[in-house]
Structure formats: C-alpha cells, structure tokens
Amino acid sequence: MARKWAYNSLGKEYTIHYIDKSLWMIKDGKKSEIPLSFLFGWPSFYEIPREIAYDVYKLVTNDHTMPSGWVVKLQSKWQFWMAIDNSKIEEQSFDLSSSTRLVLDAYGTCFSIDEEGNSSPNHKNYRSLYDVFFFGPNITGLSLSIRKTIQEAIWKALDHSQIDFTIEYSCVLFDYNKIKGGQKWEVGDSYKGAYIILHGTYVEVSSWYENRSSTKKYSVENFWYNSEKILDKGLRIKKSLVQKILETAIIEKGHQAPRLDI
C-alpha cells in the first residue's frame, strides 16, 4: 500500500509518504523516516492539517499492530485512532457571540469568526478529534453543555470494542462557577517576575523582565494539562496550589483518572 500527502505549514512545503508500512517525511528536500513512537509521541506532528492527520493515523493503526511496551498515553492514542469513525460525527455549530462560534466537524473543532468584508468566516484554533477528546477544546469560557456535547459526540463515534479506556479518561469537565476568580500567585520583584491569576473561565499567566513583559490567557483545560510547559521555572512552585483549587471544580471525580499529559 502506498499513499502520499502534501501540505504547506508556516511557509514550508511538506510531503508525507507511506510506502511498505513505513512513513516518510520530505521537508526542505530532505527525506527522513518517521518512527511510530515519534508519530504517536509527538504532540504536534509537523503542524499537520487535521484531515491529513486523520488519514495518516487511521492508515497506520489499521496497517500495523500496536508496538508492545508502550506507556498508557501512547496506547490510548493508538486505540483512539484505530477506533474512531468520523463518519459518525455530525457537524455542529455552537454560537459563542453574534459573530463567533465553535464548530465540531468530522476532523475536530475550530473557532469560526465572521469578519467584515469577507464572504466566508475565518477559521482558526484547529484541534484534532484526539486532542479535543482527551484535552478539551482550546477555547476559553465554553459552557459546560457545549463541552459535554462535544465529548459525548466523539465518544459515540468510537468503536468501544477496540479500546481499553472509558469516557472517564477523556478531558476533565470543570464547573467554572466553582473557580473563585481573582486568586493570584506571584514570584519575583519589579525587575523580574511572573504571576498566575484565576479568572474562573480562564487562567492568566504573565511574566516580565526589565522593561519587557508578556501576558497570555489559557483555557482552564489547557492549563490543567500543560501547566508544566506554560509556567516558567519560577512559577512552577505554585503549580500544585493552583491545581488543588481547580480539582475542586471537577464535576465528575472519575475524570481524575490517569491524566494523559502531553
């Protein structure tokens, strides 16, 4: 079986080849083999478009036997792509404002925004079915009903006979109303430092050095799973304090089952 996909990401041309059960990537004219451990272990596979990612993962999992000795995270990712059938996912659109919406389609979710002067909406913040199911949509402030609907829609599209995990392994469901806003943790001084602020529906993280500063907003789910990467070394000592507060807002305790941190 041989397949080929080509795409552009950040101005670079990529071509993926699947030949004789081996996966190859051509980038900048250089060809290199992609081991299965890399394909399933790397969180962002060369910024590959969701449609191509779906084809690649489905092809690989159906054409190979899962390697032995893999950790739970890799096993679950393999089983997910083997079991998912995106023809069972009905496209849904969730209005967030008069001009923005979150769209669930056969390949995952994206943020859609109507822009003046454009006949079609602008789509961004693409997220694969796997990432949405295990780590949640990467959008701040989504209602609990939307998050539940998306989670359950993907769960129903899985062949449960091919997986060992249950829906309790999926992204934790937070009740944002239980997260008290305004709580702040800060380290450093006026010269160099950083802080975390909980805002209920999102987490604000800021850092500064001399006259330079950076402030970013993260969804509660994104912070929950990726705080080790989000926080700089100085703030990581506060991570456990923040997570203990967030734990109290988890509505279904079963969702504290093994965290499949990226």
Residue range 199-214, pLDDT digits in tens: 999 999 999 999 899 9
Q: What is the pTM of this model?
A: 0.89
Surface-to-core class of residue 56, CB atoms within 10 Å of its CB (0-12 exposed, 13-18 middle, 19+ buried): buried
pLDDT value for 168: 86
Domain holding 212, by residue range, is: 176-256
**Domain endpoint, select from 83, 100, 129:** 83
Instruction: Assess whether 6 and 78 both reside in one domain.
Output: yes
Instruction: Assess whether 95 and 61 both reside in one domain.
Output: no
- The answer to whether position 206 is within a domain reads yes
pLDDT in tens, 237-255: 999 999 999 999 998 654 4
The β-bridge partners of 206 are: 195, 215
Residue pair 43/77 in contact by the 8 Å Cβ criterion: no
CA distance readout (Å), 248 to 101, 146, 184, 259: 29, 21, 17, 16
CA distance readout (Å), 116 to 99, 194, 254: 10, 37, 44
Instruction: Assess whether 112 and 183 both reside in one domain.
Output: no
Instruction: Assess whether 96 and 78 both reside in one domain.
Output: no
Rg (CA), the chain: 20
Surface-to-core class of residue 100, CB atoms within 10 Å of its CB (0-12 exposed, 13-18 middle, 19+ buried): middle
**Beta-carbon neighbour count of residue 175 at 10 Å?**
12
Please state the φ and ψ torsions of residue 222, each to the nearest 5 degrees: -60, -45
Instruction: Assess whether 78 and 91 both reside in one domain.
Output: no
pLDDT value for 43: 65
Q: What percent of the chain has pLDDT over 70?
A: 94
pLDDT in tens, 50-99: 999 999 999 999 999 999 999 888 999 999 999 999 999 999 999 999 89
* Residue 86: both structure tokens together: 């995106």
pLDDT in tens, 162-181: 999 988 889 999 999 999 99
- Residue 259: pLDDT band (50, 70, 90) is very low
Number of structural domains (the chain) is: 3
**Domain endpoint, select from 169, 187, 210:** 169
Sheet-wide strand order for 2-9: 2-9, 12-19, 22-27, 30-33
- The answer to whether position 211 is within a domain reads yes
pLDDT value for 253: 54
- The answer to whether position 262 is within a domain reads no
- The answer to whether position 215 is within a domain reads yes
Instruction: Assess whether 188 and 147 both reside in one domain.
Output: no
